[in-house]
Amino acid sequence: MVRQIFKQTVYFLLIFSLILGCKKDEVSPPDPILGNWQVKSVSGAGETIVWDDLKETLIALIPEYECMAWTVSITEELVTTNIVLPDYDSNSCDPAEVTIWTWERTKDSNEYTFTKGLIEVSIYNITVSGNQMTWTDQFDGSVTVWSKLEE
């Protein structure tokens, strides 16, 4: 009888310690690249183009170019870029060029792989500091700087 009470007590303590030892999965903070961003500048081949300066210069010449835009929206699953550029033949803007990728972050690094279908793959080293995000293309070294849009 004492032996059975001892076994039940040990069994109960074992089950109780297992229950207490199991922690709920900690929720990791959202990836800092999530959100809506507007291009600030693009650098490559030794040149830097500041988007607002370019847009301002073109609008001063042709006011209809006000429609120019370059944004990116990043969700848990997709990266969507939206670029509206001038149509020099009509003095207006071309239709928006929308590109959608899936993305994946290399564990414990700032390296992100963007995949479009089975063919196109881009690899970026992405850093976020405050409301600024910087993409460095791992293939050609070009750098794109983005500013976070207010939600």
Q: What is the pLDDT of residues 108-123, one digit of tens each?
A: 889 999 998 877 678 9
Q: Where are the domains of the chain?
A: 35-148
Residue 67 identity: C
pTM: 0.77
CATH number for region 35-148: 2.40.128.280
Q: What is the pLDDT of residues 81-105, one digit of tens each?
A: 999 999 989 889 999 999 999 999 9
At 6, is the secondary structure helix, strand, or coil? helix
The residues, ordered by sequence, that sit 6+ positions from 80 with a Cβ below 8 Å of its Cβ are 72, 73, 74, 98, 99, 100, 101
Instruction: Check whether 37 has a pLDDT greater than 70.
Output: yes
